[in-house]
Amino acid sequence: MIPFVRHTGRVAALPRVNVDTDQIIPKQFLKRIERTGFGQFLFFDWRLRADGTLHPGFELNQPAAAGASVLLACANFGCGSSREHAPWALAEYGFRALIAPSFADIFFNNCCQNGLLPVVLAADLVAELFRRAQAASNGYLLTVDLEAQQVSDAAGFAASFAIDPYRRELLLRGLDQIGATLLEEARIAAFESRRRSSWAGDSG
């Protein structure tokens, strides 16, 4: 996993609530057995027209959003299916950080597993970012600093965000969660032997 320390990038603004993972990556693309190759299908039904050309009305296709790496989104982003193909597609398309008032739980976890930083900011702050993004017709840049836990722009916006220290550490160092858990082998083994001797319901 690529570490995430600090990132400055162009913002794409997607002012829609409850964006579900079926929209982020439709089911017809879930048949691949690799973790790669999903970026081209991101927001497929919204981003592309039936003939395969870009849909001019879709937010990510606006010139100001070209090459964007920070996605500004609305409440409950990533709801629905647990498909990790959604963060895979977002990351491969070029996003490094997502900012929204709230994310669906499973999606939030999936992003962290892939070095894609989900930042939760209060709704009024996100609304202010949407305003600033809209006003900047030539593209709007944001800096997302995980080390300092802060989102800022060049025009004086600065807001801090919370993230639990465990996830922050893994993201900062680009660490694999499995490796971290395997270090706890002694505890896991102890739990298993305790469980074997005490739990009636365990027939597995």
Partner 1 sequence: MTGSERGVMPKTLFEKVWEAHLVREPADESGPALLYVDLHLVHEVTSPQAFEGLRLAGRRVRQPARTLATVDHNVPTGARDLPIADPVSAQQLRVLEQNARDFGVELFGLGSPDQGIVHVIGPEQGATQPGMLIVCGDSHTSTHGAFGALAFGIGTSEVEHVLATQCLVQSRPRTLAVRFTGRPGAGVTPKDFILALIGRIGPDGATGQVIEYTGEAVSRLSMEGRMTICNMSIEGGARAGMIAPDAVTLRYLAGRPRAPRGTAWDRAATEWLALASDPGARYDREVTLDVATLEPQVTWGTNPGMVAAISGLVPNPLRFDSESERSAAERALEYMGLVPDAPLEGTPVDRVFLGSCTNARIEDLRSAASVLRGRRVSPRVRAMVVPGSMRVKAAAEAEGLDVVFREAGFEWRNAGCSMCLGMNEDVLGSGERCASTSNRNFEGRQGKGGRTHLMSPPMAAAAALAGRLVDVRKYL
Q: Which of 110, 58, 55, 121 has its CA nearest to residue 88? A: 110
Chosen residue from 49, 131, 173, 187 binding partner 1 by CB under 8 A: 187
CA 25 to chain centre: 13
Interface with partner 1, residue 68, by CB under 8 A: no
Chosen residue from 45, 94, 149, 172 binding partner 1 by CB under 8 A: 45
Window 96-115: residues binding partner 1 (CB under 8 A) = 102, 104-106, 109-110, 113-114
Dihedral (C-alpha) 83, 84, 87, 92: value to the nearest 10 degrees?
Answer: -110
Interface with partner 1, residue 51, by CB under 8 A: no
CA 129 to chain centre: 17
Q: Tell me, what DSSP letter sits at residue 203?
A: -
- Packing angle, helices 105-112 and 165-173, rounded to 10: 40
Interface with partner 1, residue 30, by CB under 8 A: yes
Least gap, CB of 131 to partner 1 (angstroms):
13
Interface with partner 1, residue 162, by CB under 8 A: yes
Single-letter residue type at 131: R
Q: Which stretch binds partner 1 (CB under 8 A): 26-34, 60-68, 132-140, 149-157?
A: 26-34
**Residues facing 151 on adjacent strands:** 144, 159
- Residues with Cβ within 8 Å of 51's Cβ and at least 6 positions away in sequence, in order, are none
Which residues make up the interface to partner 1 (CB under 8 A)?
Answer: 15-18, 20, 22-23, 26-28, 30-35, 45, 74-76, 79-85, 87, 102, 104-106, 109-110, 113-114, 162, 164-167, 177-178, 181-182, 184, 187-188, 191-192, 195, 200-204
